[in-house]
Amino acid sequence: MPLGAHMSIAGGVANAILRGKSAGCETIQIFTKNSNRWRAKPLAPREIELFQAARRETGIDPILAHTSYLINLASPDEDLWEKSLNAFQVELERCVSLRIPYLIFHPGAHSSAGEEVGLNRVTQALNEVFERVEDTSVTVLIETTAGQGTGLGYSFEHIARLIEENFHPERLGVCFDTCHAFAAGYDLRTPDAFERTLEEFDKTIGFDRLKAVHLNDSKGGLGSRLDRHEHIGMGRIGLEGFRFLVNHPQLRLLPMVLETPKGPDMKEDVENLAVLRSLIEE
């Protein structure tokens, strides 16, 4: 089971891999560009070369990418939607260049236009970007969300619909975020509750679509719709939920990354990874 965390790309994308290695990661997640800006300089050949060299040197695999939080493919605002679509295309192309197999994104927020309108906008955007970027080496993963505000993707039905209505469903998968799913109302606190949630996921979406997991405890309670991450075992999910997760025969084959709060020295990542590894039953 590859365990890891989201890593900063400060100083270059290759540095994220080296940071991950120093924190004891076996897999990592990154932004492929500054997540607070719409634009980015194209990746230089030297950057790509260093990235692949660091990957070979560390053995970290797979590497996941997450889109900028500025992107809102569900937006009813035409200018923001077009800007988001173009930015999403750039991020997908950067994943192709870096040979990153998965690009994770939040479906976005409908901004009071209604869920029906929002879901249709996301479908339209994904269909458009897949037409623009024909390379199929990158699978786009729809992340389960907490449903805070007007956010979409908090129900398995939302995600199933986005996959079913896409012209290229084979290019889509799912990233399961534990904090988000719990805050959206899917119980993960006990083995029985977790199993029921996984059964519902399989029935609604299909287990074969699940490609990655975000490991986050939750500050908010079950169904709170609060998107606030907490350290493993220190939130409302608790250690038992994560014990079941890391030992589940189907889940334990997936790359799992932390998105828990941390400082620049990454000691929190080291501590959270140690907690998770202590839960694994040989």
10 Å Cβ neighbour count for 132?
12
What's the structural domain count of the chain?
1
pLDDT in tens, 140-197: 999 999 999 999 999 999 999 999 999 999 999 999 999 999 999 999 999 999 999 9
> Nearest to residue 33, comparing CAs of 5, 85, 73, 69?
69
* Rounded Cα distance, 35 and 68, in Å: 5
Please check whether residue 203 is in contact with residue 242, taking contact to mean a CB–CB distance below 8 angstroms: no
88 three-state secondary structure: helix
Instruction: Report the chain's mean pLDDT, rounded to a whole number.
Output: 97
Q: Mean per-residue pLDDT for 246-273? A: 95
121 three-state secondary structure: helix
What pLDDT shows up at residue 213? 98
Peptide bond into 76 cis (omega under 30): no
Share of the chain above pLDDT 70, in %: 100
Whole-model pTM? 0.97
Range of the domain at 220: 3-279
What pLDDT shows up at residue 80? 97
Q: Which residue has the tokens 């799992």?
A: 256
- Listed in sequence order, the DSSP H helices in 41-190 are 45-58, 78-98, 115-132, 156-164, 178-183
> Nearest to residue 260, comparing CAs of 249, 244, 245, 275?
275
What pLDDT shows up at residue 252? 85
Burial of residue 230 (CB within 10 Å: 0-12, 13-18, 19+) is middle
199 three-state secondary structure: helix
pLDDT > 90? residue 282: no
pLDDT > 80? residue 262: yes
Structural tokens at position 99: 């040979």
Indicate which CATH number applies to the domain containing 161. 3.20.20.150
What pLDDT shows up at residue 20? 98
* Rounded Cα distance, 137 and 96, in Å: 7
pLDDT in tens, 91-108: 999 999 999 999 999 999
pLDDT > 80? residue 266: yes
Q: How far apart are the first and last CA of the chain?
A: 12
Max CA separation in the chain (angstroms) = 53
